[in-house]
Amino acid sequence: MPALCFGPNCHENCGKMSTVPDRERDASTSVLDPETTHEGGADTCGPHIRCPLCRRKPREHSRWCCTCKHVWNTFDTGGVCPACLTHWSEPQCLTCRQWSAHSAWYAER
């Protein structure tokens, strides 16, 4: 299964995915079928999503770029690209830059 990785551009040859810097993000990007909730105005993906290694929460505006070039928040779709339906099994944390299973990011309250 593919892994999501952190970097300024999509990786064309490694089969991995990267985050997209704010300055390169398309303002028209939409998210399909969000699976997380937005709690009390906090700017995070949701109260139950955090890196299993460093415990940092990704921001609501964090974006990843699929190898098909679609840009979206991987945690809004459980790791599935809405454009090509590729399932990304391991995102890379934007803070500690370590890879973890996508399912490990969904913490119990």
> Could you report the per-residue pLDDT of 26-38, keeping only the tens digit for each?
433 333 333 333 3
Neighbours of 82 (CB within 10 A): 16
Residues 6+ apart with CB under 8 A from 103: none
Dist. CA 92–CA 81, nearest whole Å: 15
What phi, psi does 33 have (nearest 5°)? 45, 65
Q: Work out the percent of the chain whose per-residue pLDDT is above 90.
A: 29
Domain boundaries, the chain: 1-20+46-109
pLDDT tens digits for 18-27? 555 544 444 3
- Using CA atoms, how far apart are residues 40 and 98, in angstroms rounded to an integer? 28
- Read off the amino acid at residue 12: E
Average pLDDT, the chain: 71
Read off the pLDDT band of 50 (50, 70, 90): very high
**Distance, CA of 33 to CA of 15 (rounded, Å):** 25
Which pLDDT does position 68 carry in this prediction? 94
